[in-house]
Structure 1
Amino acid sequence: MTFQDLNIIPPILDAIREMGYNNPSPIQEKAIPVILSNKDLIGCAQTGTGKTAAFAIPSIQKIAAVKSSNGAPRVLVLTPTRELAIQIEENFKLYGKYLKTRQTLIFGGVSANMQISSLRKGTDIVIATPGRLLDLARQQEIKLSSVEILVLDEADTMLDMGFVNDIKKILSFLPAKRQTLFFSATMPPPIRKFATSILRENVEINVNPVSSTAALIEQSVYHVEKPEKPKFLVSLLRQENPKQTLVFTRTKHGADRVAKMLNKQGFHAMAIHGNKSQGARQKALSEFKNGKIQILVATDIAARGIDIDELPHVINYELPEVSETYVHRIGRTGRAGKTGIAVSLCSSEERKNLDGIQKLTGNVIKVAKLKSRKESVA
């Protein structure tokens, strides 16, 4: 099947071709016709399978069919992090370049002045994090009464992060008659319950099981006690010598410590987490994407906007306590049909986390050993 078979209009088809895409991914193939038919949707698919295009393409096409003159947003995309919001806006710009759709980014951590200025000039699509959007709605700086399509992207993460009350308040500003789309890599029962409470006769699409991890990702685990992890990580990186590696830690301070340690050992590493300024986070992401730095050490939330088609390595320096988070983490590699490697360092304290991950994914992760462990941290 091609994008043309999905009845995509020529201006969007031209933009898609320029991006080098000809055939839709499974989630795009199934979701786009549903969205174009004006039905609500729950879309569950692995990270890296094209969920953003699955809602961006039909959303742009729908608002292009009927022009609006009041300048109020017609599409609202809610997402948990600034990085992911930026990434989604880039996609909307690319797919809508020949239709001249107007996008506005709204997120906290920076001055709201430029965001308010953009809204006052008129916009078609708003991509926002819930907290800042709610602030602007309460200040009447944004009118949401004309929203036709509401998208909750990474819905499970938003609710896990405690955004559920903000989202419920935002819903009170939206018209009751609208199209609502839920997208996520995982859909635990509490999230599904919330989704169905605000959807109308929705269609549910599951592309691969909720708990699945990409088949193209080679997964392994090393059993390493916590005090040994720093020197083990150095040995592992020197042995594998990957072009780029994304390392996950559980805490912000842990990310800083690991990045500092790796730099002392001669690697070029940077940390990214919620305590960093927006400018610092964007600089780290940009330099990682363009290859200026070899290793990015990140917390889970900060890493949600990292989308690199050929990222070869992900390392779980610490295993996540929430099993679904593992699916999101390793989904940073093995994207867009590429292969990837996901390595986890598991201490005896984390064995229960490993058991939970294996139960969720239905996959026994192979135990690996280093070929040599001569290197040590000075």
Structure 2
Amino acid sequence: MFETSNLHPKLCAAFVDLKWTKPTEVQAISLEPALAGKDLLISAETGSGKTGAYLIPALHHIMSETKPNASVRLLILVPTRELALQVKKDCEALCRLSSIKSVIIRGGQEFQYQASLLRRNPEVVIATPGRLTEHLEKGTADFSDVEFLVLDECDRMLDMGFREEVLAITSKCTGKHQNLLLSATLKHKGVATVAKSLLHEPEFIKVKNEILQQSIEQQVIFSDDVKHKETLVHWLLTNETFEKAIVFTKTRVQAERLGNVLRYHKLKVNSLHGEVEQDTRNKIMAKFREGAVDVIVATDLAARGLDIDGVDLIINFDMAQSGDEHVHRVGRTGRAGRSGLAVSLVNSLDYSLMSSIERYLKLHFERRLIGSLKAKYTGPKNLKANGKPAGSKQKKSADGSKKKTAKKSLRKNLGKRKGKEMPTINQPESGGQLPIKKKKLNHAPE
């Protein structure tokens, strides 16, 4: 429980206001080593409370030891603007009763305005790597007093090509500081490299959010092509009961096209992707929170960092490219103990990817059929009735011994000629009759 952790009274009061009665699993495991000053390498999925896992110990330290003349004390690097906004929201809620100030440094804002924010020496800076690197190059940022360095969703930052920027920024944190690296997966090669160069004798914490899987119903609907998927999305949005929905596409072009199709059908929809200006993004998200818009069509840009109350329907127009990305998409729903529905539209090009995600998550998505929109495509032809690939292990006979294969039988029969054993012949995998090739002789037989 939070009250038994001897945290700063202002933090405990904030917990009461936020109705945080007890820490999540990742918070409970990481709190003690973080408060002890250890470097942490944390693997936790979306919705697990990982933001609080690093904000709580860092803010406790800052509140407990005031340094009015210090520059930035807590530096948090995040991959996207949306995640930066979410982290700032959580930080402000926890600091409401203190004088701690936090700022966001990210693309889409006037550079000089950001420089003026940094000159005021805020205790907390939440930044995307690209824009923060510009401030370092122009000397408008000072990280010599940083006491806590957090890399949130490090795998995502590396996937977006920010490796050099991340390393350049961390090298400017020249004082003695504690490092906390968070990633959805620790198998990412780039994460291992950064962790090795940055962390000193870290404590490894891995939490799999089982609640996420239990609270979210996951379904698959087979489809034939893009137009069929668009029709299915429209049907789902007009027949399912939901408060807010997010539809994920692979490309911004498809996000815009689908948004236009749904608006044509009088649905309250906006599109969100990397080329939408920040001011427009903010307006879209404000409308989404307020209910003026109840459907967002988004690329994976929005899969991380969006924490919107009331999202209870996720539609994967295109399958995510990995199990981790699928978890981040689906994790937009089923939050805070609520239930959610995630529907993936799968055609012949998506099936293998969907199967790999099922294996990764150790789940079998429910197959759903909409009678009036039944697809011609029903999955690979070599599937058993239970939906698993045909083909298989060797069966055993009643006495438990393995049956002879066609390959072994063929070898045995070939060997029994004139009472002599023939040498082993490489047979085709399927067994059966051997192909016979006629050779042209270049000389008379002996």
Q: TM-score range by the shorter chain?
A: over 0.9
- SS of the residue aligned with 2:31? helix
Q: How far apart in 2 are the matches of 1:270 and 1:303? A: 15
Partner of 2:265: 265
Partner of 2:306: 306
Q: How far apart in 2 are the matches of 1:151 and 1:4? A: 25
- SS of the residue aligned with 2:21? coil
1:16 and 2:15 are equivalent in the alignment: yes
What is the TM-score when the length of structure 2 is the normalising length?
A: 0.80
Spell out, residue by residue over 1:191-215, the C-alpha distance to the aligned partner (whole angstroms, 9 max, x if none).
2343233211111111127x99532
Partner of 2:391: none
Q: How far apart in 2 are the matches of 1:7 and 1:225? A: 58
TM-superposed CA distance for 1:71, in Å, is 4.0
Q: How far apart in 2 are the matches of 1:208 and 1:23? A: 18
Whether contact under 8 Å (1:271, 1:296) holds in the other structure is yes
1:134 and 2:119 are equivalent in the alignment: no
Q: How does 1:334-349 map to 2 (within 5 A)?
A: 334-349=334-349
Partner of 1:280: 280
Partner of 2:214: 215
Q: How far apart in 2 are the matches of 1:192 and 1:5? A: 34
Partner of 1:68: 67
Spell out, residue by residue over 1:63-90, the C-alpha distance to the aligned partner (whole angstroms, 9 max, x if none).
1222223341010000001111011011
Partner of 1:231: 231
Mark the CA change 1:169 to 1:212 in structure 2 (over 3 Å): closer, same or farther.
Answer: farther
Bigger radius of gyration: 2
Structure 1 unmatched ranges of 5 or more? none
TM-superposed CA distance for 1:6, in Å, is 2.0
Whether contact under 8 Å (1:76, 1:151) holds in the other structure is yes
Whether contact under 8 Å (1:251, 1:299) holds in the other structure is yes
1:294 and 2:307 are equivalent in the alignment: no
TM-superposed CA distance for 1:176, in Å, is 6.0
Q: How far apart in 2 are the matches of 1:220 and 1:336? A: 21
Q: How far apart in 2 are the matches of 1:287 and 1:93? A: 22
Spell out, residue by residue over 1:39-66, the C-alpha distance to the aligned partner (whole angstroms, 9 max, x if none).
0111222211211111111111111222
Aligned residues: 372
Mark the CA change 1:7 to 1:192 in structure 2 (over 3 Å): closer, same or farther.
Answer: farther
Q: How far apart in 1 are the matches of 2:363 and 2:197? A: 32
Mark the CA change 1:345 to 1:154 in structure 2 (over 3 Å): closer, same or farther.
Answer: same
Superposed CA RMSD in Å reads 1.7
- SS of the residue aligned with 1:215? helix
Whether contact under 8 Å (1:236, 1:370) holds in the other structure is no
Whether contact under 8 Å (1:71, 1:121) holds in the other structure is no
Partner of 1:106: 105
Whether contact under 8 Å (1:44, 1:187) holds in the other structure is yes
Whether contact under 8 Å (1:245, 1:295) holds in the other structure is yes
Partner of 1:242: 242
Q: How far apart in 2 are the matches of 1:342 and 1:85? A: 25
Whether contact under 8 Å (1:82, 1:107) holds in the other structure is yes
1:170 and 2:169 are equivalent in the alignment: yes
TM-superposed CA distance for 1:335, in Å, is 1.1
Q: How does 1:122-201 map to 2 (within 5 A)?
A: 122-175=121-174, 177-190=176-189, 191-201=191-201
Whether contact under 8 Å (1:46, 1:212) holds in the other structure is no
Partner of 1:363: 363
TM-superposed CA distance for 1:165, in Å, is 1.1
Mark the CA change 1:69 to 1:243 in structure 2 (over 3 Å): closer, same or farther.
Answer: closer
One-letter code aligned to 2:331: G
Q: How far apart in 1 are the matches of 2:28 and 2:300? A: 29
Partner of 1:116: 115
Partner of 2:322: 322
Whether contact under 8 Å (2:145, 2:175) holds in the other structure is no
Q: How far apart in 1 are the matches of 2:275 and 2:106? A: 15
Whether contact under 8 Å (2:247, 2:317) holds in the other structure is yes
Q: How does 1:39-58 map to 2 (within 5 A)?
A: 39-58=38-57
Whether contact under 8 Å (2:217, 2:342) holds in the other structure is yes
Q: How far apart in 2 are the matches of 1:151 and 1:44? A: 13
Partner of 2:30: 31
- SS of the residue aligned with 1:349? coil
- SS of the residue aligned with 1:348? coil
Whether contact under 8 Å (1:103, 1:124) holds in the other structure is yes
Q: Please say which of residues 186-195 and 276-285 is displaced more in the overlay.
A: 186-195
TM-superposed CA distance for 1:266, in Å, is 1.5
Q: How far apart in 2 are the matches of 1:196 and 1:155? A: 13
Whether contact under 8 Å (1:49, 1:336) holds in the other structure is no
- SS of the residue aligned with 1:219? strand
Spell out, residue by residue over 1:7-44, the C-alpha distance to the aligned partner (whole angstroms, 9 max, x if none).
21111110111011111111111112221110011122
- SS of the residue aligned with 2:261? helix
